[in-house]
Amino acid sequence: MGDVQHLHSLPRSRRPLAWWAPVNVDPALYTGFLYLCILPATVQSAIAFTSLAGGNVAAAVCSASASSLLGIFVSPLLVGLLMNMHGAEGNLEQVGKICLQLLLPFVLGHLSRPWTANFVTKHKKWISKTDQTSILLVVYSAFSEAVVNGIWHKVGAGSLLFIVVVSIVLLAIVIAVNVFVARKCGFNKADEITIVFCGSKKSLANGIPMANILFPTSMIGMMVLPLMIFHQIQLMVCAVLARRYKRQAEKQAQEETRAAKA
């Protein structure tokens, strides 16, 4: 990735992301936030939170799945267009590798559903734990690689605080925009919940494997650090939001019941 080294060798004023880098932190963190923004939505947690909050689960499945599939093709192209990063193998070969790692298992899973559906339903608890463990292994692998490449010599407490604050602000803006658009367009509460949770998620399970293909090894840790921190924040915030939506729905149901009895 010759363009990546060239990007970081440029003076600050000539870097593509210099216009939105007001704080003096490692430039790779800004690029990492841009990478975060172009990633697809996560599927599992978006559906889980939508279901917990009483949203439109069918729409959540369609939305999250479509985002995940489109992201396989769109995200690598946006990396090249917005970050000025182009691998020597070319975007098409990168997309091919991403399809092999992310799309092929998805397709094979759906094709094998007629034969595996009963087994999956019967052992849903253990399969869910296996799925969560695989994501933890992906995170552990990326974190270990970052440590080997000396990430803690580049990222101090100030940079970590910067990542946390920016992640919270970014998530708050996205959720606020989703709520505003959903209500402005006249969607009902169930659809609003779906829009909020599907529109604010970023996939850690897709983001790290993509980063391993799109970026050089020396950059991966810094590139995915904002994603790893954002992922934890989005889970905590969305858990609170889901409970709030659920309480609102229960309160409304109780009021309707009392009104019907009156």
Ordered domains of the chain (ranges, CATH)? 42-108+127-252 (1.20.1530.20)
Write down the pTM of the prediction.
Answer: 0.79
Asked whether 73 and 91 are in contact (CB, 8 A), the reply is no
Distance CA 149, CA 42 (A): 27
**Higher model confidence: residue 258 or residue 88?**
258
Q: Across the chain, what does the average pLDDT equal? A: 81
For residue 11, pLDDT over 70 is answered with no
For residue 108, pLDDT over 60 is answered with yes
Binned at pLDDT 50, 70 and 90, residue 85 comes out as low
HEC secondary structure over 200-234: CCCCHHHHHHHHHHHCCHHHHHHHHHHHHHHHHHH
Distance CA 136, CA 218 (A): 21
Furthest-apart CA pair in the chain: how many Å? 73
